[in-house]
Structure 1
């Protein structure tokens, strides 16, 4: 039996498509169904309850706070990881004798387990911890904070730890993008009298758009799906001050409210899709126009 050349590529993707459908598409459809039910651990009969689970999400104060914290975390980490990532990449793309060593130093936190990071940072962030003592030692004791126990700043603290850990990964992607830019562009800009800042705006940023696009998508999706950092550093506390959507889903399933947990997870999937796809299309168009 001869296989048409035009259909050959489709035959190659069938195995991957079947696996993807079995482990992602089908569970997503089943999860969507259960999100409209009262599915619980202590109930043998599952009943369809319509939008009740979703109504509860937008009326429960803890759930609303978790959604708010998730967006705060995502915005802070997207800005922090990308701005610092570009800054580090530009700096370490210069002819520094120690640039390879510095690249390793800045990248290494991203390969560490979040559990290891929490073991390191938890004692440092206590009221009597290293960070506050350092502030006091340099005469900035007024900046000392209860980093993990003050409800007003705890989500910002967790976001800062995430930025510290993962910025090196974004830096590596930006470095790859920078090294693909021909030096002839900068030489021509120098001849035309352009300074470093103008060259960065007119040459580096436009040609770095593919890397920026990748990093924006990775940090945005990662920020909206945050779980590990909050779980290991604060457990959602103090009280519920640092709860995010990921920890609320875990708590809902832990309490046996499987229908509610599935509804929250479905809502998270929808939000991530609605935000990421238009952003991806917009960034792709910018790449073409630039």
Structure 2
């Protein structure tokens, strides 16, 4: 009887684990195998070719550019979403009459479809679009750019659009973290003569670490897996200037290079795992020690 009670939680886990295994674990293992093959649309016989697909990834200029763009996008969006998210959360945690309205305004873009965002931003970001016209109107002509057609800045433009869309979501998580911090800490710090900056460094940041941890993980994984923003705004263009790993995977499968596409996807999975898990462990340890 005692044994059956001890095993009861596992009986509840097995159905979910079975579904997860069938739809995620098994396909992932099969995909790992096919990433070492020459699996193509025009091939009837699939041959094992070892590391050739991975050598192609690191020797093809377009694929290397896609990897570089993915890293740039991830770094820029992680920094932008988290810094702006904390700033907005602190500002809207104050006693403002319109704070509830402002929270809704800043959060609302995160629930919009990326297709809607592209319809709004694509005309605005054209050379003759509203953003350049506004810059010219206030005398900032040197700042006008070909936002979506200049290869040197297009990935930065897409990152800025992504930050605009999702920063409200990060703000909401930070806001929840701030509201869970007791005001007694700040009152005690004020009595001890601590100013706003010292209170932020010594009270807010340490107690906000769980929210920071969550947001870092979400933004990092989302940044490395970027696809929809690039696909709807530029399609990887101009040329291949804004290609990322996600769009390269789509192109590889579209061209029938299924083995290469699977290899790129495997590399993406490995990269996300190797970066996110050590960061998660580090942040969890910081939560405990603070």
Matching of residues 110-129 of structure 1 within 5 Å: 110-129=110-129
Write the distance in 2 (CA, Å) between the matches of 1:278 and 1:204: 24
Matching of residues 151-230 of structure 1 within 5 Å: 151-230=151-230
SS of the residue 2:242 aligns to: coil
Write the distance in 1 (CA, Å) between the matches of 2:77 and 2:127: 24
Question: Displacement, 1:3?
Answer: 6.0
Write the distance in 2 (CA, Å) between the matches of 1:273 and 1:257: 24
Q: Which stretches in structure 2 are left out of the alignment for 5+ residues?
A: none
Matching of residues 63-102 of structure 1 within 5 Å: 63-102=63-102
Matching of residues 127-138 of structure 1 within 5 Å: 127-138=127-138
Write the distance in 2 (CA, Å) between the matches of 1:270 and 1:16: 24
Question: Displacement, 1:11?
Answer: 1.3
Matching of residues 243-258 of structure 1 within 5 Å: 243-258=243-258
Which structure 1 residue ranges, 4+ long, deviate > 6 Å from structure 2? none
Q: Deviations over 1:62-86 (max 9, x none)?
A: 0000000000000000000000000
SS of the residue 1:4 aligns to: helix
SS of the residue 1:147 aligns to: coil
Write the distance in 2 (CA, Å) between the matches of 1:211 and 1:20: 27
Write the distance in 2 (CA, Å) between the matches of 1:37 and 1:148: 37
Instruction: Give the equivalent residue in structure 1 for 2:282.
Output: 282
SS of the residue 2:177 aligns to: helix
Q: CA RMSD in A?
A: 0.9
SS of the residue 1:24 aligns to: helix
Q: Which stretches in structure 1 are left out of the alignment for 5+ residues?
A: none
Using the size of structure 1 for normalisation, the TM-score is: 0.99
For these two proteins, the number of residue pairs brought into alignment is 290
Write the distance in 1 (CA, Å) between the matches of 2:238 and 2:64: 16
Question: Displacement, 1:15?
Answer: 1.0
Question: Displacement, 1:5?
Answer: 2.0
Question: Displacement, 1:2?
Answer: 7.9
SS of the residue 2:107 aligns to: helix
Write the distance in 2 (CA, Å) between the matches of 1:119 and 1:145: 19
Question: Displacement, 1:171?
Answer: 0.3
Write the distance in 1 (CA, Å) between the matches of 2:26 and 2:172: 35
Question: Displacement, 1:200?
Answer: 0.6
SS of the residue 2:152 aligns to: coil
Write the distance in 2 (CA, Å) between the matches of 1:3 and 1:169: 45
